[in-house]
Structure 1
Amino acid sequence: MPSSSSVAESRRALGQCLREIRKDAGPTAMALAGLAGWHESKCSRIEHGRTPPPDADMRG
């Protein structure tokens, strides 16, 4: 089982990757939240690795 620090690091790396994809695609975090039906702070929490993206959202 992975350590909590490796899980946290993986979550941060995923968040950074998702942030780069969002920025390359053009929408602001606020706009993405609106499109996804999320609260604005959810994008920030995901992009900064504080919370994982929901499985259903990752599957599309």
Structure 2
Amino acid sequence: MGCGELVMGLRMRLQSMQPGQVLKLTATDAGIPEDLPAWCRLTGHTLISAKHPEYLIQRREN
């Protein structure tokens, strides 16, 4: 799965979660260490932990 596909899937998954819930993501895509923090900043979600290949993302409050 490419980074773009991963981000789209991540977006859909986070939309189904309650605000404040935390998602654990395991991703080995080479672009994720740079792309995921930028995506979180743009969308307002909180990147709690980024230890490649595992990431914790907290869904933003509405």
Asked whether the two chains share a fold, i.e. TM above 0.5, the reply is no
Q: Which has the larger radius of gyration?
A: 1
| TM-score, normalised relative to structure 1 | 0.32
Q: Which has the higher helix share?
A: 1
Q: Which has the higher strand share?
A: 2
| TM-score, normalised relative to structure 2 | 0.31
